[in-house]
Structure 1
Amino acid sequence: MDLTLAFSLMGGLGMFLYGMKLMSDSLANVAGAKLRNILEKMTKNTFIGMIVGMIFTAIVQSSSATTVLVVSFVNAGLMNLYQATGIIMGANIGTTITGQLIAFNLSDIAPLFVLAGVIMLMSSKKPNIQKIGEVILGFGILFVGLSSMSAAMSTLKDSPVIVNALSTLTNPLIAIFIGFAITAVLQSSSATVGIVILLASQGLLQFNICFYIILGCNMDRVYLL
C-alpha cells in the first residue's frame, strides 16, 4: 500500500467520522431535549420503550449515547432496570439505520447535501435553521468520506498481500477481536460497520465473516461506555 492510498483511506475515514459526529451532535441539539423528555416518560411498557429507544438512536445516530443516557436515568432513579432493558434493545435496532444509509450508496449526490448545508449555514441567522444546516452538512460530509474510502479500497483488490490476508480470515474468534479492536480505536461501532460494508462490497471480505466482525463491534459498546 503506497502513501497516496493510505492518505486517501485516512482522509476518507476522517471525513466519515467527522460527518457522523457533526450530524449526530446537530440532531441532538435540534431535538435532544424533547427526546430526553420522551425517553424519560414513555418507558413504562417494555415494547413502547424499545420503539422509543429505536427512534431516539435513529435520530441521534449513536446507540452508545442512548445507552449512556439510559444508564444515567437508572442511576438517578428516574427509571428501573426493567424499563432500561427495552430502550437499550431498541437502541441496538436503531443503530442499524446508519448501516442501511451506507448500503443505499448515496455518494454520488453527497456534494449536493454539502452545498445545501453550507448555504443554510451561511444564509440564515436563525439558530434552528443553522442547526438543520449542520445536520445536512454532516450527512453530506459522511458520504463524501465514504466515497473517498470506497475509491481507495477498490484499489486494494490489486494488492495480493491485502487480498490474501483478508481472504484467509476464517476464524470467528479472530474476526470478533478485529471488530472489537477497530471499534475501540475509532470509538464508533457505526464507522466499523461502514468499513466492513465497503470491504464486503469490494469482494475483499467473505460475507459470513462480516457477521463476526460486527458482533465484535457490538461487544465493544461496553468498552465505549
Structure 2
Amino acid sequence: MNSSVLAIILLGLSGLVLFLYAVSRLSLALRQVAGERMKSILDRFTKTVPMAILTGTVVTALLDSSSVVIILAIALVSAGALPFRNSLGVVLGANIGTTISSQLFAFDLGQYAVVAMLPGLLLLTWSKKRRGRTIGRALFCFGLLFFSLFLMGEAAAPLKEYRGVQAWLLKLENPVRGAGAGALLTLVIQSSSATLGMVIKLAAKGLLTLPAGIAVMLGAELGTCSDTLLATIGRGRAALKTGLFHLAFNAICITLGLLLIGPFTALVLRLAGHADVARQIAHAHVLFNVSGVLLFAPLLPLCQRLLDAWLPEPEPAAKAAATPPKPQPTLAA
C-alpha cells in the first residue's frame, strides 16, 4: 500500500476513534452532571404533545445524544415512571435536538479546540470536587470532539488527488446507495453523529456533493435506530412500543425523503444556496427532521392507538395468574 494512502487512513481512523471516545465520554459526563434532573424533567414536562416535543429537544441538546435521551425514555417507560403516550413526543423532540450537533459540526472550530480542552484539563486535574472534575471532563471532551473532526478533515483533504475515491463518492448521489452507505456506517460505528460529522467534513473539503450528503444523512437516521431497539429487549411491551415507534417514524420519514430527494434538495438549495455545501447539509438535516416531526405530531394519538392495538398490555388478571403464589408461613410445632 502506498505510504501516503496509509498515512491518510491512519489519520482518518485516529480522528474517528477520538470522535467516538469524545462523544461517549461527553455524554457520560453530561449525564453525571444533570442525569437525575433530566429524569424528573422528562416525567414532569411531558404531559402534552408540544411540551413533550420541546422537552425532548432541550434534553437532547443538553446531553448531546438523541440515542441517550430515547434510551432514557424507554427505561422510564419500562419502570412505569413515564407513560408510553408521553414518550412519543420525547422521541420526536430528540430528533430535533440532535440537529444542533450538525450545525456545530459545520463550523470549522477544530483550530480553537484548545479553548475548551485546556480549562477542561485543568479542572479535571486540579479540582478536588467530583462535580468540578465532571464539568472539566465535559469541557475537555467537547473540545476533543471538534479536534477529532479537524483531524478527519485533514485526512480527507488529500483524497482530492485520487480519482477512484472521487468516483466512488460521486456514486453516493444515488439515493439508495448513499442511504445504504450511511445506514451501514452508522451500524458499524454506532454513532449517527460520527457519520454526519464525516459527511460534513468531506463536503467541506469538496469531496461530497449536496445530493450525496443528503442521501448518506438519511441512511444515518435509520442506522441510529439499532441501539434504541436493543435497549427495549427485556423491558416489557410499553418500552418495546416506544422503540418500535422510533423505528417506524424514522423508516417512514426516510422513505419519503428518498422518494422526494430531488425536490427536497432543490428546496435546501433555495433556502441555503448562499452557504457552502457543508453548511447546506447541516441545514438539510434540520429541515428534514423538523419536517418529519411536524408531519407526525398530529398523528401521535393515532400512532398510540395502533401500537396499543398491536401490542396490548397484559390484563391484570393474566399478570396475577402468571405470578406464582407466595408460600404461606407455617407455624413451628
Report how far residue 80 of structure 1 moved: 2.9
CA contact (8 A) 1:99 1:194 kept: yes
Residue by residue, what CA displacement relative to the aligned partner does 1:90-144 show, whole Å, maximum 9, x if unpaired? 0000011111111122111102221111111112111111111001000111111
Q: Distance in 1 between the 2:170 and 2:181 partners?
A: 14
- Look up the match of 1:26: 29
Say which one has the larger Rg.
2
Amino acid at match of 2:44: K
Matched, 1:110 2:105: no
Cα contact 1:121–1:129 (8 A) shared by 2:
yes
Distance 1:49 1:118 in 2: 36
Structure 1: distance between partners of 2:58 and 2:69 = 10
Distance 1:176 1:162 in 2: 18
State the alpha-carbon separation in 1 of the partners of residues 39 and 190 from structure 2: 23
- Tell whether 2:38 aligns with 1:35: yes
Deviations 1:136-177 (A, max 9, x none): 000111111111111110111111110111123222111111
Change (3 A) 1:154 1:147: same
Q: Which amino acid aligns with 1:51?
A: L
Asked if 1 retains the 8 angstrom alpha-carbon contact of 2:172 and 2:215, the reply is no
Give the gaps of 5 or more residues in structure 2: 229-333
1:216 counterpart residue number: 219
* Whole-Å separation in 2 of the counterparts to 1:32 and 1:196: 30
TM-score scaled by structure 1?
Answer: 0.96
Distance 1:223 1:22 in 2: 20
User: Given the alignment, which residue of 127, 133, 140 partners 1:130?
Assistant: 133
| Alpha-carbon distance in 1 for matches of 2:116, 2:225 | 34
Contact map agreement 1:24 1:59 (CA 8 A) in 2: no
State the secondary structure of the residue aligned to 1:2: helix
- Give the corresponding residue for 1:93: 96
Q: In structure 2, how many angstroms separate the alpha carbons of the residues matched to 1:89 and 1:209?
A: 25
Alignment of 1:1-225 (within 5 A): 2-225=5-228
Deviations 1:45-74 (A, max 9, x none): 110111110111111111111111112222
Tell me which of the two structures has the higher relative contact order, counting C-alpha pairs closer than 8 angstroms and 6 or more residues apart.
Answer: 1
Q: Output the CA distance in 2 between the equivalents of 1:114 and 1:76.
A: 37
- Runs of 4 or more off by more than 3 Å in structure 1? none
Say if 2:174 and 2:215, in contact at 8 Å, map to a contact too: no
- In the superposition, the TM-score normalised over structure 2's length comes to 0.65
Figure out how many residues of one structure are paired with residues of the other and give that number. 225
Unaligned runs of 5+ in 1: none
Q: Distance in 2 between matches of 1:15 and 1:170?
A: 28
Percent identical residues: 36
- SS of residue matched to 1:100: helix
Aligned residues of 2:27 and 2:65 also touching (Cα < 8 A) = yes
User: What is the RMSD of the two structures over their aligned residues, measured on CA atoms?
Assistant: 1.3
Does the 8 A contact of 2:190 with 2:227 survive in 1? yes
Please state whether the residue corresponding to 2:113 is helix, strand or coil: helix
Shift of 1:40: 1.2
